[in-house]
Structure 1
Amino acid sequence: MNTPSLTRIFLAFLRLGLTAFGGPAMVPYIRAMAVERKGWLDEPSFSLGMSLTQLLPGATAMQVAAYVGLRARGGAGALAAYVGFGLPAFLLMLGLTVLYFSARDVAAVTAAFTGLQLVIVALILHAAVNFARRYLDTLASRLLACLAGVWLGLKGNPILAMAVVCILAVFLLRNEQGGAPARPTPTGRGPLRFAGLLLGVLVLFLAALYAVNPELFRLGLLMVKIDCFAFGGGYVSVPLMLHEVVEVRGWLTQPMFMDGIALGQVTPGPIVMTGAFVGYAVAGLAGALTAAVTVFSPSLIILCAATPFADRLVASPVARRVLRGSLISLVGLMAAVAVRFGLSVHWTVAQAVFALAAFIALRKKVDILWVVLAGAGIGALAF
């Protein structure tokens, strides 16, 4: 296998990050680049990494990128890949967020975001349907999903719902077995030491925020909590952020939060980059930077710490059941979010027709970027 420089890793993932629309849909492109074209990893190593990242919290494509960097050049390679892949999304989100908050009173902008909010309702419902068709295959799984959805509908804490469903899943989903035995990963203890180093840096960063600006500290601590519980990919962050940012702290209104999700869909990268939008709303540029750093750091630390034990984790039936429980709870949480978002819209016949058309387009596999852009354009003209 080839050993690339850190600069090559950074630039390769920076190029991928510029077109990283669709979240997990980017994983085959990462594989084609890292395994087939550049030979940084062999196929068994990459397959093991894909299985591992599915068991860990964080945005799937970001985690796979970090895993490739980790196997290619150790901890520094993981950081180079992670930053390179996420940097385009952050910069574009930051630019659009600044424009959003400076032009919110312009009628055309307001109308455009009305159209985008309709698309977001359709998008969340579409995601809920996809997850339901994939993971709700038994009566027990459907009941657990309903439990999580009803709890969030009653404005309960979604993290508590996820924890309860995951615990129940360990006992109820006995048919969920571990993955196929994987070959051991000869990474040594380097990734574990690097995880400890990153954890120390994150703690020092949070301590510095607490000393300088307690508001930024609270923002950073919240984003750390959200990332630690984002099992199943970036979409899990939506109900978590909705609860914490809108209901508990009141930093954003629900329509503003929907606008942030819409901007996250216009830009490449994971939907969890909405955290930068939240951060800017709370504390400007410093808030956006703080949120972006803290909403991605924990999952990178966990990935580095888990990689030396990847073969055992992938083969663990308990880990598989916990992951399945997280995904089942996500179905209920996403359905509840779709209902909540739908209730916040002041519906007209035209808006209902447009939202239905957006949902049908997504079900027909029209690229999400085109649906979002159409929502903005039609909203500016018609609403």
Structure 2
Amino acid sequence: MSAPSLTRIFLAFTRLGLTAFGGPAMVPYIRALAVERKQWLDDASFSLGMSLTQLLPGATAMQMAAYVGLRTRGGPGALAAYAGFGLPAFLLMLGLTALYFSARDVAVVTSAFAGLQLVIVALILHAAVNFARRYLSGPADMALACLAGVWLGLKGNPILAMAAVCALAVFLLRDEGCGLPEPRESTGNGPLRFALLLLAGLALFLAALFIVDPELFRLGLLMVKIDCFAFGGGYVSVPLMLHEVVEVRGWLTGPMFMDGIALGQVTPGPIVMTGAFVGYAVAGLAGALIAAVTVFSPSLIVLCAATPFADRLIRSPIARRVLKGSLISLVGLMAAVAVRFGVSIHWTIPQAVFALAAFISLRKKADILWVVLAGAGIGALAF
């Protein structure tokens, strides 16, 4: 079967991106597109991609979209799939963010976001529980997760917490494979050359920002740093972004950052698209575009660079333990974020009841989108 054109890849993933709610839950739909309907990849190739993306930073669904494009049409295919999959989320986030900042003083909008903040507390706690059940399997895991959580609770740098836990994991944890299937094939060095080209482009882009506007350069550099450490999926970006944007730089208040996460949940695509919300708050449309580009670029570069070495990377016990350490630290960091968000809310009994109901609904596997929309509606009417 002949390789599809870049336009076909872009349009196929744009259509998929329009309904890309649920983050990693989109991976089966990507498989259905690439393996079953289009037959661009076989099942072994797709499984190799799933194994590889679990070891690399970045939003899982975005990375799998890029991997499909990479295996189908090389580096340009990866870029086409990546851009197509993320474009709907960016455009919707941009529109909602512009409305948010223009209507923040409207009473009904303020009430709606008060309800959404309650849902975000429930959502982050729900994610922390899910990660804990999946990745904490013994006393050492729990102790390391608590270490990361307490560190963030004391307003420490979450990147240092992740680095410390990953280093300790190499020595304290057994190699359990992290649930990764064995790979069956690898690729040539074309993706590595494309990664170097993308890296040069990103460096030139940041250099141009530094010359034009140092504030935009700092925004772009921050988003690059956040993406480089987003091991375990897009949710890792939440504690990293909270620390840097709210506490270190003061670009947003805690409640405003929660509102940005809420908008990220009512739009398709990964939660890390909240970076576009932050960028808009800093520098309007230009800031949103710069943040969106820089918060996704590093993980695409890393994916392209790592693909030729997929077989050796996935088989490495050290790589597996580092991955397990990053996921353990994520549990503690997410729990600490839930607590921090909860403390920032002035609780009333009706709010507590509603937040508990939202949490229970999520635990019962209710669709996140409907829970978020219910939060906005009930908040507008009752809070």
What TM bracket, shorter-length normalisation? over 0.9
Unaligned runs of 5+ in 1: none
CA deviation string 1:273-310 (max 9, x = no partner):
00000000001011000000000000000000000011
Shift of 1:20: 0.1
2:148 corresponds to 1:151: no
- Residue 132 of structure 1 is matched in structure 2 by 132
Contact 1:252 1:278 in 2 (8 A): yes
- Where in structure 2 are the equivalents of 1:307-322 lying within 5 Å? 307-322=307-322
Shift of 1:184: 3.1
Q: Secondary structure at the match of 2:269?
A: coil
- Residue 357 of structure 2 is matched in structure 1 by 357
- Residue 182 of structure 1 is matched in structure 2 by 183
CA deviation string 1:115-166 (max 9, x = no partner):
0000000000000000001111100000000000000000000000000000
The 2-side partners of 1:268 and 1:175 are apart by: 35
The 1-side partners of 2:12 and 2:129 are apart by: 34
- Where in structure 2 are the equivalents of 1:236-247 lying within 5 Å? 236-247=236-247
The 1-side partners of 2:365 and 2:177 are apart by: 31
Shift of 1:17: 0.2
CA deviation string 1:328-377 (max 9, x = no partner):
00000000000000000000000000000000000000000000000000
The amino acid that maps onto 1:66 is A
Shift of 1:180: 5.0
Shift of 1:314: 1.1
Q: Secondary structure at the match of 1:295?
A: helix
CA deviation string 1:244-265 (max 9, x = no partner):
0000000000000000000000
Shift of 1:176: 2.5
- Where in structure 2 are the equivalents of 1:231-310 lying within 5 Å? 231-310=231-310
The 2-side partners of 1:103 and 1:298 are apart by: 34
Contact 1:2 1:38 in 2 (8 A): no
Shift of 1:177: 3.9
Identity among equivalent positions (%) equals 86
Contact 2:62 2:85 in 1 (8 A): yes
Shift of 1:182: 2.1
- Residue 59 of structure 1 is matched in structure 2 by 59
CA deviation string 1:77-130 (max 9, x = no partner):
000000000000000000000000000000000000000000000000000000
Scaled by the length of structure 1, the TM-score of the pair is: 0.99
Scaled by the length of structure 2, the TM-score of the pair is: 0.99
The 1-side partners of 2:116 and 2:68 are apart by: 35
Shift of 1:316: 1.1
The 2-side partners of 1:366 and 1:101 are apart by: 29
Shift of 1:181: 4.1
Contact 2:47 2:181 in 1 (8 A): no
- Residue 225 of structure 1 is matched in structure 2 by 225
The amino acid that maps onto 1:157 is N
Shift of 1:209: 0.1
Shift of 1:43: 0.5
The amino acid that maps onto 1:164 is A
Mean alpha-carbon deviation: is it higher for 1-10 or for 289-298?
Answer: 1-10
CA deviation string 1:181-218 (max 9, x = no partner):
42231x32110000000000000000000000000000
Q: Using a 3 Å threshold, how does the CA distance of structure 1 residues 308 and 175 change in structure 2: closer, same or farther?
A: closer
- RMSD of the TM alignment (CA)? 0.8
Runs (4+) of structure 1 moved beyond 3 Å? 177-181
Q: How many residues align?
A: 382
Q: Secondary structure at the match of 1:296?
A: helix
The amino acid that maps onto 1:33 is L
Unaligned runs of 5+ in 2: none
The amino acid that maps onto 1:134 is R
The 2-side partners of 1:82 and 1:33 are apart by: 15
Contact 2:65 2:81 in 1 (8 A): yes
The 1-side partners of 2:225 and 2:371 are apart by: 31
Q: Using a 3 Å threshold, how does the CA distance of structure 1 residues 74 and 365 change in structure 2: closer, same or farther?
A: same
Contact 1:162 1:329 in 2 (8 A): yes
